[in-house]
Amino acid sequence: MRLLLAGDTHGNLGHVRRILRAAADRGIEDVFQLGDFGYWEHEQSGVRFLDSVHRAARDHGVTVHFLDGNHDKSGLIHRRYGDRPDDEGFLRVRGRIRYAPRGHAWTWDGVRFLAFGGARSVDKDERLKEEARRHQKAARKEGHRLAAGRPPAEVPDYAGTLWFPEEEATDDDVRGVIAAVTAASGGTDVLLTHDKPRATRPGTNRKDLDICLPNQERVQRLVDELHPRLVAHGHLHHRYTATLTRPRATTRVEGLAADPGVSWGLPGYKVSDSWLELDTVTL
């Protein structure tokens, strides 16, 4: 089985279409996007994005899978689709779009996969301030309406529209995943994440902040306990390859770049660095 792994897309429809064309040109029918996909179905623009991706994926004969990044409203996915997983345990957001919940494990072509989304937003405070600013603006507008003698209207709250409390994994998440995967299969072959393992040195200091380290440690614990042969992640918007050597296993780590909208200014950026072909036969 051949997959095209893809880094952050941030709701950039043009870039997603570019990824789908790259998959179709290679005869690949499955794309797996590694978080910060652009799941914002609480906004009309997000609904339009999902509908457009579904249509483009259908036209190219490709299915898009994604896990949650820190900028995907994953709690809404569970509320809307969590009661009807498909036969492989994915949540089908659209006919050609499937979401892999945090800790979801499955097997393709005899290869054990595990998805573990989530990360800490370095711009959390700015996003919270913007939510508050939008609420204040709406409240002022409503005040003007009332002063003009118009009937009262609800003032939008905006909380949870730009920053999502479920963005980061927890220690309990990690313990539960390790226990479940160990009991079911003993480990995993491919770990797909949004955040990077703590031990990697990607050659960039992007998001190398104290507030980011706890989630990186959680990913690292999955690597140490479950011994994957490959880890692939996004989040840093930076392409690199690293090797983690431990007494019981060696793990290759592939960090993928992001869409051009956030990456053009990064040194050495190439659009093709935002995807990677994976062949399960040669893994």
Q: Where does a domain end: 132, 162, 192?
A: 162
Query: Across residues 120-142, what is the average pLDDT?
Result: 96
Alpha carbon distance 52, 240 (integer Å): 30
Whether 223 and 264 map to the same domain: the answer is yes
Whether 7 and 43 map to the same domain: the answer is yes
Total tally of structural domains belonging to the chain: 2
pLDDT tens-place string over residues 37-89: 999 999 999 999 999 999 999 999 999 999 999 999 999 999 999 998 999 99
Whether 157 and 174 map to the same domain: the answer is no
Q: What is the CATH number of the domain that holds 192?
A: 3.60.21.10
The whole-model pTM stands at: 0.96
By the 8 A CB rule, do 44 and 50 touch?
no
Q: Tell me which residue range forms the domain holding 141.
A: 122-162
Whether 138 and 27 map to the same domain: the answer is no
Whether 274 and 134 map to the same domain: the answer is no
Whether 251 and 149 map to the same domain: the answer is no
> Dihedral through CA 260, CA 262, CA 268, CA 273, nearest 10?
-50
Whether 34 and 99 map to the same domain: the answer is yes
pLDDT tens-place string over residues 224-249: 999 999 999 999 999 999 999 988 78
Whether 187 and 230 map to the same domain: the answer is yes
Report percent pLDDT > 90 for the chain.
93
Reading the block at residue 64, the tokens are: 């898009």
